[in-house]
Structure formats: structure tokens, C-alpha cells
């Protein structure tokens, strides 16, 4: 546990040595606050059920509403991410986010809480298309998986905050203060984002510091990889319509495979985030405070996985393994199932925690590699719109998780028993997920080569347009 934290500190220190460290650090806090809100809804689940007189299905509806609205809002926000000042766009979204969180804390009933979730979902949608676009511009490709790992660690840190706050503040004051405290944090982050500068947009692959060619590009060039015809662009991507951008991203086979794998992984991740407290208190017969501490331990395992597997992916890339990100992501998903099955079967918390921590290690650790793959195979000036298209599908998968798990758990016995049965029945999908990801071994290098050619043409076309 301590070693994992130290690795995270060393990784952060290395990444923050660049002159873009402030942007990267703020992106970490963007992700952390976004997921703190998700964790908070899950952690206050038993309290919200009692306060509003609702069951598992309506509790799942709260997360589903937020995520479905995020999916719809991602489309126009993705278009803005390719054209507007991205840091300013994030700042504006967190002003809305903070106001919505404050309103959630003041809600007097379920439908007021539910309706406010729509505004929260629209604000939260901004980070989806903006973060990969910014990271693609400020981090060299050889360290991109590591950088995405650090930013993705914000997911686990945020969820940890969301789970730890409720028992502390609920005893001292009221469950409402959990939401109001996060609202204050969101307002502070909006101010910091407002003041930060906008990084220069660059092409696919990202330049190395000092103007050197990125490692992914160099490896692909040295091996004479032929570009995939599906990934070659004929026009300046900044002039492409949303429909043309959507068609292009679907035709890039590696991007489609990585998106499918990430969506299935996020489906499970969101289901766990929503029902972890409800499951733990019912299945193991422990208090909410004890459940929060147990989940915090599991979260530390997830943070360690994000850091360790992203470092492994980058290390293999430096050794010439071009497909390292695919291999790490695939193995991560398969091993997560191996660990999670005994975790869900056991009735002993002391037996289950190590297995849950190991499952979280591999499940969370697969995420940065998939994100890096998608950045590698797309032209820089198209990343915002491409990511918004991905977010529609990803948020759809995440949005289905709470309500479908809630409904299926009711059909399979209800309560914690029903939740346990749902997880055991659906876990094999993660194994299939890892195997499907291996299909990208046939397409990744050619799609990177196509991104190189398209990026060069995009830069020339854009420069010619500006000159005219």
C-alpha cells in the first residue's frame, strides 16, 4: 500500500517537471471532483433511500439520469473542445457544477434531487472531450500512458473522498454538508481553471520535449508500417462536420475496439461505485462507516494499479513493444475477473478485501492504456469531437449500469444477495472484453501510421488556411 503511494508521488513529480505541470495538475483535480460526486451519491445511498423513501431502482435512476444527460451534452461540448479555449470551457462547466452540487444538498425531495442531476450531468460532460485533447497536446506520447494514469488516479482519489466524507460530516452535521463541501471545491477549481493558460494544439502522437519525434511515431516509422486506409484524412479535420468526425472515428478500427472495451469496463466500474456501500453493509453485516473504510482500502489498490500498469505500459513501449498498451489493458481485464470472483463469493470481509483490492488493481489499471491508445490513433485537431462521440457511448454504458443492476438485483432476490448474483453472472463479460481488445493487435500500428500521415496533412492544410 505504502509502496503504491510512493510510486504515485514519484510519477507525479516526474510529470510535473514540465512547463505544463499546472494544467496537468488541474486536470487531476477535475477528474477527482467529478468522481467524488459519483462516489458521494453511492456512499449516501442508504441515507438518500431513507430520506426520500426510495429503493435500489430509484437510487440507480439518480446516477443513470446524470450519465445519460452527460452523453447527450458531450456532442456540442466536443465541437467546442476543438475550437474554443478548453481551460476556459472547463472553468465555466465547474461554475455550473458547483451550483448544482449546492442545490443537491438543499433538495427537499427525490424529484428535486433527480431534476438537479440533469444540470450536474451537463456540467460533468465537459471533462470527457476536453481532458484527452489537452493531454494529447501537453504530454509526449512515450509518457502519455503514465500521464493518463496520474489523471485517472483522480477517479479513485475522488471516489475515496466521496466515500469517506459521508460518515464524518453526517455525524457532525448533516448529509447535506457533503454536497455543499464539494460545491465549494468546484467553485475554487473553476477559479483556478479560469486563470490558467491554454496549451498550444499539436498533431497526433504529441511532440517530445525539445521538438523530438514521439516514440510511437519513431517505432512505427522505423518498422515501415503502412498506414490503414480507414484512418487517412482527405481534408482539414478542423473543418469537418460532427457527422464526418463521427464517421471517421468509427472507421478507425483500433479506436472502435478500445472504445468498446472501455465502455464495458466503465459499465462495471459505475455499478460498483453506485452499489458498493449498499452491498457491503448488507452482505457482510457491517456499519456504513466500516464499509467506507473497507472501500478505501480497495481504492488504494485501484490507485496502485493505475500507477503500476501505466508505468509498465510505458516501460514496454520504451523497450520497443509497440502493442504494449493493448496487451496491458487486455491482461488487466482478464485478471480482474480472476480476483473478483472469490471476493464476491466469500461472506468474510477479511477474506474478501484482498481479492477486491486485487480486482480493483487490474480493473482500474487497464483504463490508462486504453485512453492512451485512443489518443495515439487520432489527429490532434479532431480529438475533442472524437472524444465526445466516445463519451456518448461510454456514458450510455455507465448510465445503464446503476438502473440495470438495480432492476436485475430485485429480480434475483433483492438486497445484497441480488447484487451479488448480478455481479457473478455478468463478470465473464470482462474476460470477453479483454479478448476482444486483442483484436486491436492487427490494427493499432497501421492506425498510428495513418494518424501520422493525416496529422502532417492536417498541419499543412491548417497552416495554408491561416496564411490565406
The pLDDT confidence band at residue 212, using thresholds 50, 70 and 90, is very low
Q: Is the pLDDT of residue 122 over 90?
A: no
* Confidence tier at 362 by pLDDT (50, 70, 90): very high
pLDDT at 374: 77
Closest by CA to 276, choosing from 360, 342, 196, is 360
User: Residue 372 has what pLDDT?
Assistant: 79
Angle between helices 253-283 and 349-376 (to 10 degrees): 160
Q: Is the pLDDT of residue 455 over 80?
A: no
Give residue 57's Cα distance to chain centre: 24
pTM exceeds cut of 0.75 = no
Per-residue pLDDT band at 459 (split at 50, 70, 90): low
Domains parsed from the chain with CATH numbers: 2-467 (1.20.1250.20)
Long-range pairs for 239-247: beta carbons < 8 A, 24 or more residues apart: 239/465, 240/382, 240/385, 242/75, 242/78, 242/79, 242/385, 245/382, 245/385, 245/386, 245/389, 246/385, 246/389
pLDDT digits (tens, 9 = 90+) for 45-82: 777 777 787 776 777 777 677 777 777 777 777 777 77
Q: Could you give the CA distance from residue 148 to residue 139 in angstroms, rounded to a whole number?
A: 9
| Mean pLDDT in residue range 407-425 | 82
- pLDDT for residue 20: 65
Q: For the stretch 365-382, what's the b/e string if a residue is b when 16 or more beta carbons lie within 10 angstroms of its beta carbon?
A: bbbbbbbbbbbbbbbbbb
- For the cut 60, the answer to whether the pLDDT of residue 13 exceeds it is no
pLDDT digits (tens, 9 = 90+) for 332-350: 999 999 999 999 888 888 8
Higher pLDDT among residues 117 and 74, named by residue: 117
Q: Could you give the CA distance from residue 408 to residue 406 in angstroms, rounded to a whole number?
A: 6
Q: In angstroms, rounded to a whole number, what is the distance separating the alpha carbons of residues 178 and 37?
A: 9
Amino acid at each position: 500500500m505504502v509502496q503504491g503511494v510512493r510510486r504515485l508521488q514519484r510519477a507525479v513529480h516526474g510529470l510535473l517537471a514540465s512547463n505544463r505541470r499546472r494544467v496537468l495538475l488541474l486536470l487531476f483535480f477535475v477528474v477527482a471532483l467529478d468522481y467524488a460526486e459519483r462516489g458521494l451519491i453511492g456512499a449516501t445511498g442508504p441515507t438518500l433511500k431513507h430520506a426520500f423513501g426510495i429503493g435500489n431502482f430509484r437510487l440507480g435512476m439518480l446516477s443513470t439520469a446524470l450519465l445519460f444527460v452527460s452523453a447527450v451534452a458531450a456532442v456540442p461540448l466536443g465541437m467546442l473542445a476543438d475550437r474554443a479555449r478548453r481551460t476556459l470551457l472547463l472553468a465555466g462547466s465547474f461554475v455550473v457544477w458547483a451550483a448544482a452540487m449546492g442545490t443537491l444538498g438543499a433538495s427537499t425531495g427525490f424529484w428535486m434531487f433527480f431534476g438537479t442531476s440533469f444540470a450536474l450531468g451537463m456540467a460533468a460532460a465537459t471533462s470527457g472531450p476536453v481532458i484527452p485533447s489537452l493531454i494529447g497536446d501537453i504530454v509526449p506520447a512515450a509518457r502519455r500512458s503514465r500521464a493518463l494514469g496520474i489523471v485517472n488516479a483522480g477517479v479513485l482519489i475522488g471516489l475515496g473522498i466521496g466515500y469517506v466524507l459521508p460518515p464524518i460530516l453526517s455525524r457532525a452535521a448533516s448529509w447535506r454538508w457533503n454536497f455543499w463541501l464539494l460545491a465549494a471545491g468546484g467553485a475554487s477549481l473553476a477559479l483556478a481553471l479560469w486563470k490558467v493558460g491554454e496549451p498550444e494544439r499539436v498533431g497526433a502522437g504529441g511532440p517530445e520535449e525539445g521538438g523530438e519525434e514521439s516514440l510511437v511515431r519513431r517505432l512505427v516509422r522505423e518498422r515501415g508500417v503502412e498506414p490503414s486506409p480507414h484512418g487517412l484524412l482527405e481534408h482539414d479535420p478542423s473543418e469537418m462536420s460532427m457527422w464526418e468526425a463521427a464517421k471517421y472515428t468509427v472507421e478507425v478500427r483500433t479506436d472502435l475496439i478500445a472504445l468498446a472495451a472501455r465502455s464495458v469496463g466503465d459499465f462495471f466500474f459505475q455499478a460498483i461505485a453506485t452499489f458498493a456501500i449498499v452491498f457491503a453493509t448488507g452482505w457482510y453485516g457491517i456499519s456504513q462507516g466500516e464499509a467506507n473504510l473497507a472501500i478505501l482500502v480497495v481504492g488504494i489498490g485501484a490507485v496502485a494499479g493505475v500507477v503500476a500498469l501505466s508505468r509498465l505500459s510505458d516501460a514496454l513501449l520504451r523497450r520497443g513493444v509497440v502493442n504494449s498498451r493493448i496487451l496491458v489493458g487486455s491482461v488487466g481485464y482478464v485478471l480482474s475477473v480472476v480476483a473478483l470472483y472469490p471476493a464476491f463469493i466469500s461472506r468474510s470481509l477479511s477474506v474478501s478485501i484482498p481479492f477486491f483490492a486485487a480486482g480493483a488493481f487490474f480493473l482500474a489499471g487497464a483504463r490508462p492504456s486504453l485512453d492512451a491508445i485512443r489518443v495515439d490513433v487520432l489527429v490532434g485537431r479532431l480529438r475533442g469531437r472524437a472524444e465526445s462521440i466516445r463519451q456518448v457511448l461510454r456514458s450510455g454504458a455507465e448510465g445503464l449500469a446503476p438502473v440495470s443492476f438495480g432492476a436485475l438485483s430485485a429480480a434475483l432476490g433483492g438486497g445484497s444477495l441480488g447484487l451479488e448474483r448480478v455481479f457473478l453472472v455478468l463478470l465473464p463479460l470482462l474476460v470477453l472484453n479483454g479478448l476482444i481488445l486483442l483484436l486491436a493487435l492487427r490494427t493499432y500500428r497501421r492506425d498510428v501510421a495513418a494518424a501520422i500521415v493525416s496529422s502532417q496533412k492536417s498541419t499543412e492544410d491548417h497552416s495554408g488556411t491561416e496564411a490565406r
